[in-house]
Amino acid sequence: MGGRPGRGVAAEEEITMSACKGSGRRKTSGAVGDQSWLTTVLLVSCPVMLVGPSCAGCPGDARQEAVPSSVSGTQNNFDGGPIITTPAAPTVSIPSVETDASTTVAPLRGTTEGCPAGMARIEGGTFGQRKNRKVKPFCMQRTEVTLARYAECVAAGGCEAPAQGEACNWGVAGRESHPINCVTYKQASTYCNWIGARLPGEDEWEWAARGRSAATKYPWGDVPPSKQLCWSGAEPRTSTCPVRSFPEGDSLDGISDLSGNVSEWTSTRGPARSERSPFSYVVRGGDWSIDTPDLLRADVTDFSEPASAFDGRGFRCVADVNG
pLDDT per residue as tens digits for the range 19-39: 333 333 333 334 455 666 676
Domain for residue 72, yes or no? Answer: no
Q: What is the CATH number of the domain that holds 262?
A: 3.90.1580.10
Q: Is the pLDDT of residue 64 over 50?
A: no
Is 56 a domain residue? Answer: no
Looking at the structure of the chain, the number of domains it has is 1
Q: What is the pLDDT of residue 274?
A: 84
The predicted pLDDT at position 130 comes to: 64
What mean pLDDT value characterizes the chain?
77
Residues ≥6 apart with Cβ < 8 Å to 130:
none
Cα–Cα distance measured from residue 181 to residue 296, given in angstroms and rounded to the nearest whole number: 18
**Mean pLDDT in residue range 297-312:** 96
In this prediction, residue 131 has a pLDDT band, given cuts at 50, 70 and 90, of low
In 3-state terms, what secondary structure has residue 158?
coil
Tell which residue, 278, 269, 243, has the closest CA to residue 79. Answer: 243
The reply to whether 68 falls in a domain is no
Q: Is residue 224 part of a domain?
A: yes
pTM of the model: 0.73
In a domain, 95, yes or no: no
Are 52 and 92 in contact by the 8 Å Cβ rule? The answer is yes
48 located within any domain: no
Task: Give the domain extent around 277.
Answer: 1-33+109-323
Domain annotation covers residue 78: no
Give the rounded percent of residues in the chain with a pLDDT score beyond 70. Answer: 66
Least confidently predicted of 96-100, 103-107, 156-160, 300-304: 96-100
> Does residue 281 carry a pLDDT above 70?
yes
Q: Quick one: residue 244, left, alpha or beta (phi over 0 = left, psi -120 to 50 = alpha)? A: left
Contacts of 90 (CB under 8 A, 6+ apart): 51, 52, 66, 67, 68, 69
Separation CA 63–CA 168 (nearest Å): 27
Residue 156, in any domain of the structure: yes
